[in-house]
Amino acid sequence: MNNKTKKILEFILTLPIVLLFAVAYATLTASFISLFIQFFFDFTIPFISTIFVLSILWFVSLIIIKYFHNKNKYY
């Protein structure tokens, strides 16, 4: 197996792990944001849409960290 095929296979295999981290971080961040907004501003925001937007942001940031930052592995 050449190096390019190995990197593509590694990318495909680590995608679910990165997605799992993204959803976990998004859930934590969304809960803190919604609690903060409820406590200080006295109105609620939809929790599911917040998780959806934050999971996309975390997913993109984790992909950038994993594959474009000096090729280091962080997890």
Distance of CA 58 to the CA centre of its chain: 3
Report if residue 26 sits inside a domain.
yes
Report if residue 48 sits inside a domain.
yes
Report if residue 6 sits inside a domain.
no
Report if residue 3 sits inside a domain.
no
pLDDT band, residue 73 (cuts 50/70/90): low
74: left (phi over 0), alpha (psi -120 to 50) or beta: alpha
Say how many Å lie between the first and final Cα of the chain, rounded: 24
Report if residue 31 sits inside a domain.
yes
Distance of CA 63 to the CA centre of its chain: 8
Tell me the pTM.
Answer: 0.49
Report if residue 74 sits inside a domain.
no
Domain count, the chain: 1
Task: Give phi and psi for 4, each to the nearest 5.
Answer: -70, -45
Residue 62 is part of which domain span? Answer: 13-68
**Residue 72 has what pLDDT?**
54
